[in-house]
């Protein structure tokens, strides 16, 4: 018996929960707010490409940490 269809079904059931939707929405809003805040506050950081690279790295690290924590829970 293959376990992959069972995993897919459980993932679909988990995404329909209200808490999952609220958590995804809260994370998306927090990420947008953090990005906007960094872009507005960091005027004196030099070239815009450096700031963009920093924001991309920060969001990548936060995304990795969040997915790692989600996998553990």
* Residue pLDDT, tens place only, 27-39: 889 888 988 887 7
Q: Are 42 and 51 in contact (CB under 8 A)?
A: yes
Full domain range(s) for residue 41: 4-72
Answer yes or no: pTM beyond 0.85: no
Closest of 36, 23, 33 to residue 66, by C-alpha: 23
Query: How does pLDDT run across 43-69, given as a tens digit for each residue?
Result: 766 676 777 788 889 889 988 988 888
**Spatial separation of the C-alpha atoms in residues 24 and 18, rounded to whole Å:** 10
In total, how many domains does the chain have?
1
**Spatial separation of the C-alpha atoms in residues 3 and 1, rounded to whole Å:** 6
């Amino acid at each position: 018996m293959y376990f992959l269809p069972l995993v897919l079904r459980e993932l679909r059931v988990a995404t329909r929960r209200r808490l999952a939707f609220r958590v995804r929405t809260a994370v998306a809003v927090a990420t947008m707010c953090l990005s906007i805040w960094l872009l507005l506050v960091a005027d004196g950081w030099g070239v815009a490409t450096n700031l963009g690279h920093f924001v991309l790295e920060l969001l990548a690290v936060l995304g990795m940490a969040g997915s790692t924590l989600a996998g553990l829970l």
